[in-house]
Every structure is written in structure tokens, then in C-alpha cells.
Structure 1
């Protein structure tokens, strides 16, 4: 009815449905349950150190598996739980003691839990969970919690035990393998490698996380010789790099001097190409592995880099299997990139042998990396090699008489031209070569001649004019659809040269029907705005060399007697076609056969005696 006030009601919660979503669908793998339980044990130990003056000086977490009984027990020497804490924290979804404890505590960077959800993961792998606990606040009392689904539970008094907690999982049949202690050691050795509290598997005498990471300095590491420090870093990197041997390691942060993130990066000893992406980065938040494929924290150009970092500022998602893309995340990306750039420069200065290996393994990838940062370009400009017709050369070795030549394809007259001139031609069709050389010339001077572009052709060929009648005759006798351009160019021994118009090829490719299907309308308008200024009427230019004696003689003969000039013109055209078959992408043998036949016929016509015999 009109005028009735709105009623305030409380939304209902289907706890069973919520438990199903949280307990079975929040995590991508059941292995996470083991991590979450060890995390809870760690936080309980940290809490006890903060709150209990009598806390043990040598805390520990023990994980015991019994594959025959299909059970896993996680035992800690932490605070334990009182009856009220079991109801308030253990049995209430979304409420965790750690979150409140973190506020204002000096040890907050060691506390891992945040959401009060981790205990639910136990029900993903267990058909029954039993918690036996004695609190340091009531050392003479014990409690036993038991639940098969996390929704209903029983709680009963139990004999007091050593202060701390035992969480026992009666595993579901499909997860029975988790009870194997070798399996537990592998899984927890990966997840808990940086945890400060020692973790023991079964009766093992040594913890699975015995060695602190290199960036957690102690009095011994401060006075450590640099060579020993590098060996220790490489040993640590080898534990995490699954595919390659690390060549060298670089600390994070190498330059920024900040405490977060901290870690280690390394260069992999595996060859890469420009499009290779072997990045791998393991991220630990407060000592616990959250993401072992956080490659997006590494720069996109660093396809040959692996790393491990830990942070107290990166924020996990609720599942604790990914990181929130917030300001701390972006700050970490920047710190890692800075550390990597500074680290590579340090390796170049201090470890020449390792630097040579890096250049040898990752030359092509480094060509692209140099374009991403001015400091990288300065570091690499005279080090990386550019693929060329004369092999892989440094950019300075490509420069001849102030010019660097770069081709956008291979074969045909382009190769012949530069072989005759003795000039190396950079392979502009290879990854990052063209933009690298453009930037190199801008910084170091000289000219970049891009063969097949209008600007590059103007630098190679001095265009000249001919009477229309002579130009028409050359087009009729020599061309196969190319635009005929009279010119002077070196070497004079080369009578003619076909240069494909790379800009026309680009125009045709971008404006094709297939491009319409792949490109959005907005992008297509921009593309066509760019290509509108390109003359795509001819796919190639046929440069006729007026410095060549044979070409001058051909034109002189044509002016006097066109019929007498035609055999020589046919011979030149056949030679042109023969050279073009080197780039015949379709592999059509008829072009080669036709060119060879035309050469034979032209020779016969040029030799009077042979012509007479042919007429008999």
C-alpha cells in the first residue's frame, strides 16, 4: 500500500550451499589444502611467540602421513585453541584470529592468514577432519573438534596434550596418495620453501626448508666473498628453475633499495628466439608460495628469465592462488624490471664469462629487449649481433660508408646487388632487426637504407628520364607488370634490377578481405587512413641501369633498329625472370622453364650461324 514504510530484513544464508562453494570450488587444486593447514600452523606459532612469554625457542611443524590408514596429521607447537576460540574462529566462516592479530603487530609480516577461509580447504580432500588442541591459556584442558563437512561439528573435552594443535585428515579415497610422505615432502617443499618455521615430514631429522633464501642476510652473508655469494644464489636458483640451468643470478631489488619485494632473478641457459617466452616467477607472500607462474610480474621482453620473490605487500585473492592487481602489484612489477635491468648491467661489468653466455644464448631476444628501455639499448647496442647476408654482425660492422642496408626479404636481384657491392645487408624480416637498426642509426649516426621502400630506393637509385617512346619499348620488352624506372646505380655491371614494393605489399595485405574479418572497424579505418597515401599500383619496380654499357648499347640499337635490339632485350628479360624464380613463393616451375627457353632462343637469334642452322 502507498505510504507504508520499507521493511528492513536480514538476508538468509544457505550455509550448506556456501560451504560447497567455498570448500569445493574456491581452490583450483586439492593440494592447496595442505598449504592452508601448514599456514594455519605457522600463524599459530607466530601468535604464541607474541602472546606467550613461555613460548618454545625452537618451534616446529610436523606433517605425518600414513598411506595405509589414509590419514595426514599436521602438528604444531603454536598457541592451541580454547573452547570459545574453536567456536569463534575455527567453526565460523570468514572469521580469523590472524587478521585481527596482524593489526599493529611487529611480527605481522610473518602472519599469513587473512580471510578465515583456509580451514575449509581441508574438507575438499578429507571425509572427516579431527582437531585435537590444548591452549597455552588453559594448559590443563584439551578439546576435540570433529566434522565431516564443515557445516555441523561436534566438540568434546579431551585429555590435555602438549600445547599446540593436531589437525588429522581422514582422506577421501581419491586423495589417498596425499598421505605418502615422499609426496608430502615434494608438495610442501614447494609451497613452504621460504617459511621461517622449520617443517618436518614424519621422523625426518632435517626440515624440508633448512636453508634461508640468499636475500635474508645474516652476519655470515654480510662478509661473504662475492664469488661465494654468487654460488649460493645459483644453488638456490637451481632449486626453483625446472627447465634450465641458471647462468647467473641477480638480487631483487638490485637498484631500488626497498625491502619489498625481495628475491632473486636469473638468466636461463637455454637458447631463445624473439617470440620465446620461458618466463617463470614464483611468488611467496609472507613465506608461503601463492603463485608459481606469476610471469606477468616480469617484463614482457624477459622471456629468458626466471625468479623467486617474497613480499609482505602483495595481496592474495581469497583462494590465495593468485595476486590482486593493485598498486602493490604494479609497484612490484616496476621494482622487478629495475632490478633486472640493473642486474644485467652488473653482470656485463663483473661477470664477463656469464655475459658472453647470455649474449650467445639470447641474442635475438635481447635485440627486442633493447627496444624496451633506453638503458638496455645503451647496454646492448654494441653487444648484440644482427643477422645479415654476411652472417651475424654487430651494427657497427654493418655500417659501410656511413650507411646500413636492410632488406625486408631475401633472394633475387637484391641479394645479387649487395653481393656484387660487397656490402652486408641486414635481415629486416627477422625479429626486432628493423626497429633496432632504426634506433641505432638515430643514436650513432649514419643512414639506414631500407630496400624496397620509397625512401630506401631513392637512396640507392638515382632516377632519370627517357623519352616516352623508349620507356614504352622498355616496358614492352623487359617488364612483367613492374613499373619501369630508368636510373643510375652501382655496380655498373648490373644492367637491371627488380625491387619489390614492400609498402605496396603491406597495403594489399592490410586492405584485403581477410584483414576485414580480423580487424575491428575502428582499427580498419586507421589502417586505411595510413595506406591511402601508398601508391599500390605496381607491386615491384624494374630499375634499368643507364650506367651499364650493355643497357646503353641496347637503347642505342633500339633507336636505330628495333628489330635488331629485340633478341638482346629478350635475353635480358629472361635473365631477369631467372633471377626472380629464386623468390617464387608458389614454386611454379613454368617461370624457370620459360626463362631458360627464352635464354636459349635469344642466344640462337644473336648468333647468325646458329640462326642459319636453325632455319635448315
Structure 2
């Protein structure tokens, strides 16, 4: 029997390690909120009740076998005393010394040395300590623990400590089974005598502890006890899911989708996840940050855990994850980054993807609502999560040349394309209306071919991550050497013969634009517009240029090639004026800048207004008076 047990005169017993220093670390370094001490004590009480429950399955020789398995929290504001009592398995003097002396085991010294060195593997030794109990010294001047074991022949005992170098164990007069933790609160911790404050903490951290938690003289438990996410999905009604979501978020719009999981392997977890109807967080809602609520054995560990899903998915997921397999660090405020967390993240991510794919296939109208609300997150995930690109591509939706009002998938695009089409064509711009009027689309329009419109700022980043889809290259429709499927076997490339007038037109443009373009030539593609700009081979692609601009990166944009539609009325009319005519020069400038605007390349669109006005004035001066 230990020294702590044998001495009835309750002499102080020294801890076996540098307890004062260790407690200083626990109290001041590892917990960011003092209220978590109550969560820890309730969790310990719940563990004691669970141990007793299992004991009663094989042993009826226990004290008070009919006593309710519960937790009671009472306070004395006048004396600043808080008490947490349970009817669990209890402890004798020897067990008090061992269980509350865990902090004094030989690993404490190693823990201190690692903490002082800032050892990155600190979590590897944290598991050796049952230090949650000691978090109560954040708010306590003194703690007394009075306990009586479930064994009829064991005597009750009391453990006393002020969180310094020693503890004391002495006989007690406790008659009922279980443990009472009596905390003599510091002056600045008097708030923890307020029953409303206690109720708030229980609701936040311990609402789903499986045993009733009574506060003060109340007859009704302060905790809900029934964790919806741990119930078999087939036993939960839609109204229950909806009510839980509203209580959880204070969002009174029904969620777009829910996902209820109960998984045993390769890791044990329960999860209840929701996709809100709106991408914007309700300013009056309960969820103030992104992240899932993380529980271990129904005890809240993190209010906003950001390690369970890819960052992009956090934008639209709300919910709860609960696991028995999580290894916790000393404060329970952060989870060890290890294989179990990686497994949980992989399982949740794959389940969400499978659910979204099923929704897109079975309920396309509902998926359309999801895409409109949260499609940007899918784009972001493709741009930032290389491992998810192939899994996410089927979820993408676009407007297109042939479907300007519809949302089509990449599979829809391919299914409606000509059999000999080997590429997926897209066009990047700021606005769909601008893209619809792009001269690059005219050859596609003439052939009835489709082009995807990409107008979201994330689209250029996304395209860089996904050069192909199901063996089909993604090709920018604004490229110079655009490879299109032949319309028939006899089709030959279009050629344009340059007559004297056409050559004169090219020279006029070269004289005005000079080195602003790399070349000026007649277009071989059918154009309705006067001209178009294309990027020369080997130049930065438009999507990369846009990425640089969005990132405010300094780079030298490539000089485009200018292709002229020499048959356009504007250009043929321009030949009626002398080359040095101001109206010719201003027309060329305006046509060029308009082309830049259509391509989203114009550095200052506001400059167009005075140029248009100047051209109108010149045109009016040339108009004869009637």
C-alpha cells in the first residue's frame, strides 16, 4: 500500500515530478478557454458511469445497484464552491492516488523537456497523461475529490490538492457510490457558480453525454443526451433532421442536402452533414466560422474543425462528426494529425462526392440548385486539390454557345458533339454576353458545334489543373492554330487570296498599330466581325494570362495576331478614304481596342468613350448637309 493510503493523519504526499511546472503548462498553455475544465470533469464522470455500467453486466455485488446513473452539478455562490458529482464506479484511496497521480508518472519529466524544447512530436507523449482533470486548476484555488468505490468492502477517501507540489489523501464519510469533485473557485472564476452559465457550458460541450446532467435542483436534465447522428438513419425522420439542422445553425431555410453516416471500418465514425441552401452564412446564425463540430464519444472536442474536409468543401458543409477512434492531445482542443484523421477526411470526402454524383444523376433540378449556390467551391477544389480533379470533373456545369441558359456537364457536351470531334472547346471571359458575341465563336456557330463559356474568376485556375477529360483535350477556342474536325472527307483548309485592296488594308492596320501586334493577316475563318485577335503559337495561353492578372503578377503580355475580315463593310468602306485620313486612323484604333475589350485584354476600357466620340464627330463632319 502506498504512502498516501497508509497515513491516516493525512500528511502531504509529494508528487513524483515537477508538478508545479507541469500544471503551469497545462493551465496557461494548452487551454484557450477556461470553461473547458467543466467539459473535462463531465467527460471523466461519464467515463466512470460507463465503466460501472459494464461492471454491472457481470457483477451485481455493488453498492447502490438501483441508483440512477447520472451527473449532478451544484454550486454555492456565497462560498464560491462548485461541485460535480457522479454515481459512477468510484475509487478507493489507492485508486485516487493512482488515477489522480497519473500526472506524476515518470513520463512527466519527458513531457516537460519536450514542451520546453518546442518538440514537434509533443503529441506522441501527451497520451501518457490523464491531465484533463487538472485543467480545473485554471479556475480553482483548491480541489477536493471525495469518492467511494462500487466495491462494498472498500472505504471512501478524499484527495486534496492546491495544484502545487503535494496532494493529500485522507479517510472520508461518503455513504453513496461515486465521486464528487469539489472546486474552491478563484475570485475571478465566480461566474462558474452561475447556473445559467453552467447550463450554457453543458449545452455547448456536453449536450450529447449519454447520461443525464442535472444542474442545481432541477429535475430535468440540462443535456439532450440523444445524439441524432448516432441513431440508425432508418430510424430518423425528415422532420427530426430538419429540426436538428435549424437548432444547429439557426438557418430556417431547409438545407439542400443531408448526409447521415454510420461507419465501422476502416475507422469508426458517425457523421451528420448538411449542405445549406445559401453559400452565405446567416449573420444571425449559430455557426460563425467554417468547419465541422468534432466529437469524441459524444464530447465536443472542436467547435470548428477544419481538418476533416478539403478547404473548398468547408465553404458549403455544416454538421457533426463523432468518432471513438480519435487520439486526443492533452487539452482535447486539437487533434493529433495522424492516420486516423486522414482516414476520416478521406471517407467523408468520398461520401460527399458520391452523394453529389447521385444527386446530379437522379435529381438534376436539385443538383442545379446546388451548383448555382456552391459551384464555385467545386471549381476551387479542382484548382487547389490535385488529387480530387478526376473525381470532381463530372460535377462541373457550364453555360455554352448552344445552351446559353442551361447548365450542361462535360458528359452532356461530349454526348451532343459530332462523332469525329476529339476536343472540348471553351472560351474564357469576364461576362457571358461578351463571350456570346466573340468572333472566335463564328466558325463554331456555322458548324453547329458547341463551346463552353468560362466566366468565373476561378475558371482559369481550374483549366490549368484539368487539361483533359475522359481522353478529350480541353482546347481554348481563341487559339491560333485551332484544330477542328473535318466536315467531310473532301474538306480542304480554307485559303484567302490577297488582292491589292486586301494588301492595302493590311498595310493600313500595320502602319497605325505598329508593334502592338505581332502580325496582321487576312482571316481564314468565317467572320461576321471586322476582325479578331488570336494568340500566336508558343505564347502564354489566355487562361494563364488571366491567372497572372488576377494574381497581380507583373508579366509581359504576348503580342496578339490580328486577323482581318477583308469583306466586312466597315473595312471595305474604310478603303474609300486616303490612308492618312484621321477617320481611318481612329477607326483602326477603335476596332483594335474593341477587340481587346471582347477578349478581356483591354487595360483601361474607359478610354474607349472619348475615342468613340471623336470618331462620331469625324463621321458627322464628312456627312453632307441636306
TM range (shorter): 0.7 to 0.9
1:248 aligns with 2:257: yes
Match of 2:165 in 1: 151
2-structure distance, mates of 1:500, 1:591 = 22
Tell me if structure 2 keeps the 8 A contact 1:133–1:163. yes
- The 3 A distance-change label for structure 1 pair 328 and 589 is closer
Shift of 1:486: 1.5
1-structure distance, mates of 2:362, 2:332 = 39
Match of 1:17 in 2: 21
Match of 1:326 among 338, 356, 359: 338
Q: Relative contact order (C-alpha < 8 Å, sep 6+): which is higher?
A: 2
1:288 aligns with 2:325: no
1:82 aligns with 2:92: yes
Tell me if structure 1 keeps the 8 A contact 2:157–2:171. yes
Tell me if structure 2 keeps the 8 A contact 1:248–1:354. no
Q: Tell me, what secondary structure is at the counterpart of 1:314?
A: coil
2-structure distance, mates of 1:538, 1:134 = 82
1:212 aligns with 2:212: no
2-structure distance, mates of 1:344, 1:321 = 31
- The 3 A distance-change label for structure 1 pair 63 and 504 is same
Match of 1:432 among 453, 459, 481: 459
Match of 2:70 in 1: 60
Tell me if structure 2 keeps the 8 A contact 1:484–1:541. yes
1-structure distance, mates of 2:546, 2:417 = 33
Shift of 1:498: 4.5
Decide which moves more: 497-506 or 541-550. Answer: 497-506
Q: Which runs of 5+ in 1 are unaligned?
A: 1-11, 97-112, 517-530
- The 3 A distance-change label for structure 1 pair 77 and 411 is closer
1:503 aligns with 2:540: yes
Match of 1:122 among 122, 131, 136: 136
Paired residues, what number? 544
Q: Tell me, what secondary structure is at the counterpart of 1:293?
A: strand
1:576 aligns with 2:591: yes
1-structure distance, mates of 2:324, 2:569 = 78
Match of 1:101 in 2: none
1-structure distance, mates of 2:616, 2:483 = 29
Decide which moves more: 571-580 or 283-292. Answer: 571-580
Shift of 1:244: 7.4
> For 1:345-387, what per-residue CA distance to the aligned partner results, in whole angstroms no more than 9, with x for missing partners?
4555677775454334223324455783545443x35xx3448
Tell me if structure 2 keeps the 8 A contact 1:484–1:544. no
1-structure distance, mates of 2:592, 2:373 = 40
2-structure distance, mates of 1:171, 1:213 = 32
TM-score (norm 2): 0.72
Tell me if structure 2 keeps the 8 A contact 1:571–1:603. no
Shift of 1:601: 2.9
Match of 2:36 in 1: 32
Decide which moves more: 321-330 or 564-573. Answer: 564-573
1-structure distance, mates of 2:471, 2:239 = 38
1:232 aligns with 2:228: no
Match of 2:270 among 241, 246, 262: 262
- The 3 A distance-change label for structure 1 pair 29 and 564 is closer
Q: Tell me, what secondary structure is at the counterpart of 2:271?
A: strand
Match of 1:199 among 203, 208, 213: 213
1:300 aligns with 2:311: yes
- The 3 A distance-change label for structure 1 pair 257 and 418 is farther
- The 3 A distance-change label for structure 1 pair 471 and 19 is same
Shift of 1:391: 5.5
Q: Tell me, what secondary structure is at the counterpart of 1:325?
A: coil
Q: Which runs of 5+ in 2 are unaligned?
A: 1-15, 107-126, 282-287, 486-492
Tell me if structure 2 keeps the 8 A contact 1:64–1:202. yes
Tell me if structure 1 keeps the 8 A contact 2:398–2:454. no
Match of 1:137 in 2: 151
2-structure distance, mates of 1:177, 1:537 = 63
Shift of 1:237: 3.9
1-structure distance, mates of 2:546, 2:274 = 44
2-structure distance, mates of 1:351, 1:439 = 26
1:315 aligns with 2:327: yes
> For 1:523-563, what per-residue CA distance to the aligned partner results, in whole angstroms no more than 9, with x for missing partners?
xxxxxxxx9xxxx68533332212435535656x6xxxx83
Match of 1:524 in 2: none
1-structure distance, mates of 2:617, 2:342 = 70
Match of 2:284 in 1: none
Q: Tell me, what secondary structure is at the counterpart of 1:153?
A: strand
1-structure distance, mates of 2:528, 2:361 = 49
1-structure distance, mates of 2:381, 2:291 = 17
2-structure distance, mates of 1:46, 1:25 = 30
Tell me if structure 2 keeps the 8 A contact 1:463–1:486. no
Tell me if structure 2 keeps the 8 A contact 1:128–1:149. yes
Please report the RMSD computed on the Cα atoms of aligned residues, expressed in angstroms.
4.6
Q: Tell me, what secondary structure is at the counterpart of 1:263?
A: strand
